Amino acid sequence: MRPFLLLFALLLNYPVFAQPAPPTDTRNLLPVPTSVRWGAGKYLIKRTFSVRLERSDSAVVSTVQALLFSRLYAPGSHPVVTRFVTEGPADLTIRFGKAGNPAAFDEEKYSLRVTPMGVTIDAPTSLGALRGVATLRQLLANQLPTKKNGLEAQFLPEVDIQDQPRFAWRGLLMDAARHFMPVAVIKRNLDGMAAVKLNVLHWHLADDQGFRVESRTLPRLHEVSGQYYTQAQVREVLRYAAARGIRVVPEFDVPGHTIAWQAAYPQLASGDTAYAVYQSWRTANVALDPTKESTYALLDTLFGEMTRLFPDPYFHIGGDENDGRQWRGNPRIMAFAKANGMLKSDGKTLDKHALQTYFNRRVLAMVTKYGKQMVGWDEILGPGLPQDAVIQSWRGRKGLYDAAQAGNRAILSHGYYLDLNQSAASHYATDPLPANNPLTPAQQRLILGGEATMWSEFADSVVVDSRIWPRAAAVAERLWSAREVTNVPDMYRRLGAVSGQLEGLGLQHCRAPEQLLRQLAGPTADVGPLRTLARVLEPVKEYKRHFQGFTYVPSTPLNRLVDAAPAESDVAREFGCQVDTLLNFHTAAGTGLPATPAARMLLGTLRQQLQRWQANNSQLVPLLAASPTLTEYAPLSAALSTAAALGLERLAQLEKGQTPSAAWRAAALRQLDTLNQPAGQTELAVLPHLRRLVEAK
């Protein structure tokens, strides 16, 4: 910029030094950093890699030693021994200003420089240093070894990275209430979170189906629930998370979602029903009695204990999904509402919101007394809710904006529900603050960030990783990287790389479904054909799994083909991309396909894929017929074969430059419609792509 222009810009307060455009050469980095300048050089890694930490006192930094460098080697090359030194030159030097406190939202900014002379990470806090180390690991991942002096060598590419998060609150909700998640499961997911720079574990610890923390003051709470974390285990998880720069926000959901509480302490109930811990997934609308002082006395005892156990300044009280039916049905509660002006203008109907706000205010006072800030689901927002409550929006984006406009801080989860089995792309497109948001700058600052939620009705400790990863990484990027980072194919490419990195960290998202397939196939059968089918199936979306001819309860084993099917099929998605590329060739050529090698090759790849799918059914039929648990998937295997045959017909037409007749196309589309029938709570993820192929003129 010329000097006079610069002066002009400064006078106008024009953002001359604003963020540069986001990096486009993203390699394996996820989330994409704020700024990346690649150089041409490399830093060669020898068999020993020395690390100098300029503040070895911090507990966080010891994690760098213990974990992040323990597997510092790229696939296919020699292992590297990491050695920590306290003085002198080192391969990697880590400097930071102070030990960062994740609970205080301390800065996570860092710079990472790799030159042919060495590697440095500089950060204002240890949190930034940890984020820098997470980036460093991704620089190394999948670097091809080069030969140097006859030895396999690996290297880090020369680069200058400056990076900081867009949002301070980047969470993952894990639901240990619906299916209990042992400590090891939580820990390996914390490793996954750290790898993609997520920094809040929202631990959903109590629900209708269980209360999962040992309570010393109210022990029946955990005793009636069977599986629970001891307080020592909770502390172990908290330490593990803190060492990775991750905060843990516990959720104790009240007044709804409390059947397990009422099974333990029946005096909490709004009616005179005696409950056992709930053995169903149906929304119960069973709520605590908000009118009895004994309810608040019990909650005060529990929250006193739990706010001491969990040091994070935030404390989540839930507040969702109570439609008030139990309150309306109890004459004593209705009398209380009447006496306290909580009826609607007709003087008869309960103003459920007014009564729940009364309850919320009582709970907020407790939580505040114990030095915490209250977080609740968006139902708690409404007239009378104090501004220091944080709102977690799940029913829609409106809750997020309403909260900020009311002056409350807010986090977004609507659009990040991993349990609904939607695509990474759909989560990725969900921005807490899109450019066209209606908020003022001051209101925008109240949007703290977002959280991916992994509700566990359909995820036990075995399959949960595969329901979280790698899709949660797409949410992680949305919350860390610039708003303008929106290249979907590039995101998927990097998601693949991250997925491999997560496997290396011990996540089971690839291994567990494969093991399940082996179990389903049995010890003698070849698992191949079953895998071919499973990889193009997806569980039905949203909440449909509850409503497809099979009633799930908490004790239903999650070991059917639907549980091995990916939430988002990579095979189907990649097939879809190839179909689109082929159709682009076709559009460009006018009729048929261009006679280019690229078009021929793609045609060949697609044909091979379709032939495999077509042939798969006859290989799979004997296994499907012999296994009672697999039989229900036989129609999908047959449908895959039939749909593939249609695709092959269409490819042949394209190859010969023939335009299909309207009658052929109509019949083919009708057939695809007929094949589009879920079975065993799964659907064939390739059908929409075959439909595009058939529809193309």
Contacts with 289 (C-beta within 8 Å, 6 or more apart), sequence order? 268, 269, 270, 295, 330, 333
Residue position matching structure tokens 């439609």 = 323
Cα-based distances in Å from 436 to 22, 308, 431, 478: 19, 42, 11, 16
Cα-based distances in Å from 234 to 238, 249, 374: 6, 12, 20
For residue 326, what are its two tokens? Answer: 């139990």
Q: Give least dist CB 324 to ligand ACM, A.
A: 15
Contacts with 108 (C-beta within 8 Å, 6 or more apart), sequence order? 100, 125, 127, 128, 131, 164, 165, 197, 199, 245
CB 337 within 8 A of CB 351: yes
**Which residue in the shown chain puts its C-beta closest to ligand ACM?**
320
Which x/- pattern over 326-365 shows residues binding ligand ACM (rule: CB under 6 A)? ----------------------------------------
CB 416 within 8 A of CB 453: yes
Q: Give least dist CB 179 to ligand ACM, A.
A: 16
Q: Give least dist CB 359 to ligand ACM, A.
A: 17
Cα–Cα distance between 145 and 154 in angstroms, integer? 5
| CA pseudo-torsion sign 382, 177, 546, 397 | positive
Q: Give least dist CB 309 to ligand ACM, A.
A: 23
Is residue 43 at the binding interface for ligand ACM, with CB under 6 A as the rule? no
Q: Give least dist CB 320 to ligand ACM, A.
A: 4
Q: Helix 570-589 vs helix 597-626: angle between axes, to the nearest 10 degrees?
A: 150
Instruction: Provide the CA 612 distance to its chain's centre, in angstroms.
Output: 32
Q: Give least dist CB 631 to ligand ACM, A.
A: 34
Catalytic residue status for 321: yes
**203 vs 394, which CB is nearer to ligand ACM?**
394
Beta strands in 520-667 (DSSP E): 537-539
371-410 binders of ligand ACM (CB under 6 A): 377, 394
Contacts with 629 (C-beta within 8 Å, 6 or more apart), sequence order? 520, 559, 560, 561
Q: Give least dist CB 283 to ligand ACM, A.
A: 8
Q: How many residues bind to ligand ACM according to rule CB under 6 A?
A: 4
3-state secondary structure of 104: helix
Cα–Cα distance between 650 and 383 in angstroms, integer? 60
Is residue 285 at the binding interface for ligand ACM, with CB under 6 A as the rule? no
CB 285 within 8 A of CB 322: yes
Q: Give least dist CB 419 to ligand ACM, A.
A: 9
Is residue 320 at the binding interface for ligand ACM, with CB under 6 A as the rule? yes
Residue (of 472, 413, 416) closest to 448 by Cα position = 413
Cα–Cα distance between 276 and 264 in angstroms, integer? 8
65-124 binders of ligand ACM (CB under 6 A): none
Cα–Cα distance between 133 and 125 in angstroms, integer? 13
Cα–Cα distance between 337 and 556 in angstroms, integer? 40
Amino acid at 253: D
DSSP state string for 594-618: ---HHHHHHHHHHHHHHHHHHHHHH
For residue 174, what are its two tokens? Answer: 């894990």
Cα–Cα distance between 238 and 236 in angstroms, integer? 5
Phi, psi of 551 (to 5 degrees): -95, 115
3-state secondary structure of 127: helix
**63 vs 322, which CB is nearer to ligand ACM?**
322
Phi, psi of 232 (to 5 degrees): -65, -40
| CA pseudo-torsion sign 204, 210, 213, 215 | positive
Find the catalytic residue in 321, 503, 514, 574. Answer: 321
DSSP state string for 527-587: SHHHHHHHTTEEEPSTTGGGGSS----TTS---SHHHHS-SS-HHHHHHHHHHHHHHHHHH
Contacts with 76 (C-beta within 8 Å, 6 or more apart), sequence order? 144, 145, 152
Is residue 416 at the binding interface for ligand ACM, with CB under 6 A as the rule? no
**472 vs 491, which CB is nearer to ligand ACM?**
472
Q: How far apart are the first and last CA of the chain?
A: 50
Q: Give least dist CB 224 to ligand ACM, A.
A: 22
DSSP symbol at 369 = H
Residue position matching structure tokens 């963020």 = 19
Q: Give least dist CB 542 to ligand ACM, A.
A: 12
Residue position matching structure tokens 């004593």 = 332
Q: Give least dist CB 70 to ligand ACM, A.
A: 37
Residue (of 35, 38, 6, 32) closest to 19 by Cα position = 35
Is residue 321 at the binding interface for ligand ACM, with CB under 6 A as the rule? yes
Beta strands in 191-264 (DSSP E): 200-207, 210-211, 247-252
| Residues with catalytic function | 321
Residues that bind ligand ACM (CB under 6 A): 320-321, 377, 394
